[in-house]
């Protein structure tokens, strides 16, 4: 078993300490071992363990469970990675630039020599997966996901799991265009509207769109969270759930920040700036539980029509979205849009429609639900592979 290269990944999230947590942690570790030793392996139990409080606890456990969650065959895991040819590789220069900028993704205090060696392995994994799967297209942010698998699993296992993930969960992000990525982001506002119409209407009035959540989605939050423990905890959750779960988690973060959002000036650039600065002290376990609740309450099949309708509604801003995603500078795009909007207002009289009073005060109690995570987790797991309309999630 390859020793974990991450730091503190086994620590409990959100400061859970003391004898009670230690007892539950030991019991959970024993339950995971029992599920792994069952014949056949009890994958459903492993999914429940990955979703429930604390996730998979350690990187050593993750190295055993993540392949099961992704259904990677044992013989694939045993394959030694082939040598990667970098010369004349169309993606090499961009991958190299992104990896060189990824210093903050490595544990603080790691010796330079060790980090540089891991960066070389990171480049090789990315180029290897792309070479094996020419239908996949590299995108900026992909390396943030790959480095997480590398730090937890090592190069050999990471290569196998990243390839499976890239052809399934991440498949839509790796198309030649960003149409499917945009479509997945279109689920964000319908989820928010179902739970808190007031926040939804405020964001619509501000015309903030969903660009602020782009890096969250395409990196599984790896690019925006500074604590590696939180990153791997979310990966436990996402790997055990439906491929659209990251967008539910994004919605939960926005809803959690309700007061901040509604107190912000109703201005596109201001709201975008607020939402794009993700807090580092989020109550992750609570938010994971709530995201599971939302998925059960409002499954993707129920939101599909609304998400599809946003395709046409967002068509006027898609050029901005595409530009922001390629330049990684959404703030500048929003500022330009703001200037254009102000110029248009000077030349015409625009009637400002206020949010419906009825919609402002209608609140669903989803965020206050205290559904036991075990029950919610079971429902999430049972529906994890049932739905994939329009999205090419399972080719």
Q: What pLDDT, on the 0 to 100 scale, is given for residue 343? A: 57
pLDDT at residue 107 greater than cutoff 50: yes
Please tell me the distance from the alpha carbon of residue 165 to that of residue 129, in angstroms, as a whole number: 10
Average pLDDT value for residue range 71-84: 90
Average pLDDT value for residue range 300-313: 76
Average pLDDT value for residue range 4-16: 46
Average pLDDT value for residue range 19-41: 93
pLDDT confidence tier of residue 87, bands split at 50, 70 and 90: confident
pLDDT tens sequence across 205-237:
999 999 999 999 999 999 999 999 999 999 999
| pTM check: above 0.95 | no
pLDDT at residue 13 greater than cutoff 90: no
pLDDT at residue 1 greater than cutoff 60: no
Q: What pLDDT, on the 0 to 100 scale, is given for residue 393? A: 36
Q: What pLDDT, on the 0 to 100 scale, is given for residue 232? A: 97
Q: What pLDDT, on the 0 to 100 scale, is given for residue 315? A: 32
Percentage of residues in the chain having pLDDT higher than 90: 65
Q: Are 251 and 292 in contact (CB under 8 A)?
A: no
Q: What pLDDT, on the 0 to 100 scale, is given for residue 372? A: 34
62-82 in b/e form (b: 16+ CB < 10 A) is bbbbbbbbbebeeeeeeeeee
Please tell me the distance from the alpha carbon of residue 268 to that of residue 216, in angstroms, as a whole number: 19
319 CB-contact burial (10 Å; exposed 0-12 / middle 13-18 / buried 19+): exposed
DSSP collapsed to 3 states, the chain: CCCCCCCCCCCCHHHCCHHHHHHHHHHHHHHHHHHHHCCCCCHHHHHHHHHCCCCCCCHHHHHHHHHHHCCCCHHHHCCCCCCCCCCCCCCHHHHHHHHHCCHHHCCCCCCHHHHHHHHHHHHHHHHHHHHHCCCCCCCCCHHHHHHHHHHHHCHHHHHHHHHHHHCCCCHHHHCCCCHHHHHHHCCHHHHHHHHCHHHHHHHHHHCCCCHHHHHHHHCCCCCCCCCHHHHHHHHHHHHCCCCCHHHHHHHHHHHHCHHHHHHCCCCHHHHHHHHHCCCCCCCHHHHHHHHHHHHHHCCHHHHHHHHHHHHHHCHHHHHHHHHHHHHCCHHHHHHHHHHHHHHHHHCCCCCCCCCCHHHHHCCCHHHHCCCCHHHHHHHHHHCCCCCCCCCCCCC
pLDDT confidence tier of residue 191, bands split at 50, 70 and 90: very high
Average pLDDT value for residue range 74-91: 90
Q: What pLDDT, on the 0 to 100 scale, is given for residue 10? A: 41
Q: Are 361 and 292 in contact (CB under 8 A)?
A: no
pLDDT tens sequence across 241-293:
999 999 999 999 999 999 999 999 999 999 999 999 999 899 999 999 999 99
Q: What pLDDT, on the 0 to 100 scale, is given for residue 339? A: 57
pLDDT at residue 324 greater than cutoff 60: no
Number of neighbours of residue 275 by Cβ within 10 angstroms: 23
pLDDT confidence tier of residue 151, bands split at 50, 70 and 90: very high
């Amino acid at each position: 078993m390859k020793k974990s290269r991450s730091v503190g990944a086994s620590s409990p999230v959100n400061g859970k300490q003391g004898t009670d947590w230690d007892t539950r942690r030991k019991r959970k570790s024993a339950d995971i071992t029992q599920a792994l030793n069952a014949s056949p392996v009890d994958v459903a139990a492993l999914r429940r363990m990955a979703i429930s409080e604390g996730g998979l606890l350690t990187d050593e456990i993750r190295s055993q469970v993540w392949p099961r969650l992704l259904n990677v065959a044992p013989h694939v895991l045993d394959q030694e990675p082939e040598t990667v040819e970098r010369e004349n590789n169309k993606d090499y220069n961009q991958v190299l630039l992104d990896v060189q900028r990824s210093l903050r993704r490595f544990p603080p205090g790691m010796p330079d020599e060790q980090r540089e060696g891991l960066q070389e392995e990171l480049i090789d994994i990315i180029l290897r997966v792309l070479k094996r799967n020419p239908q996949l297209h590299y995108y900026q942010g992909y390396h943030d996901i790959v480095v997480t698998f590398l730090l937890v699993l090592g190069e050999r296992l990471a290569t196998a799991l990243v390839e499976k993930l890239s052809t399934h969960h991440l498949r839509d992000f790796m198309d030649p265009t960003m149409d499917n990525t945009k479509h997945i982001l279109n689920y964000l506002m319908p989820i928010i509207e179902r739970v808190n119409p007031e926040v939804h209407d405020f964001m619509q009035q501000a015309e903030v769109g969903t660009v602020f959540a782009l890096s969250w989605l395409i990196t599984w939050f790896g690019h925006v969270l500074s604590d590696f423990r939180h990153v791997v905890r979310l990966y436990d959750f996402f790997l055990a759930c439906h491929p659209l779960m990251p967008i539910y988690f994004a919605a939960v973060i926005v809803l959690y920040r309700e007061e901040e959002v509604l107190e912000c000036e109703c201005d596109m650039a201001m709201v975008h700036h607020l939402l794009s600065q993700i807090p580092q002290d989020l109550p992750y376990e609570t938010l994971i539980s709530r995201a599971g609740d939302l998925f059960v309450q409002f499954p993707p099949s129920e939101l599909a029509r609304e998400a599809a309708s946003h395709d046409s509604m967002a068509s006027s801003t898609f050029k901005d979205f595409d530009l922001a995603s390629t330049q990684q500078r959404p703030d500048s795009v929003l500022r330009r849009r703001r200037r254009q909007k102000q110029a248009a207002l000077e030349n015409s009289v625009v009637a400002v429609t206020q949010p419906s009073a009825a919609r402002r005060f209608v609140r669903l109690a989803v965020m206050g639900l205290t559904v036991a995570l075990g029950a919610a987790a079971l429902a999430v797991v049972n529906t994890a592979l049932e739905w994939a309309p329009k999205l090419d999630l399972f080719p």
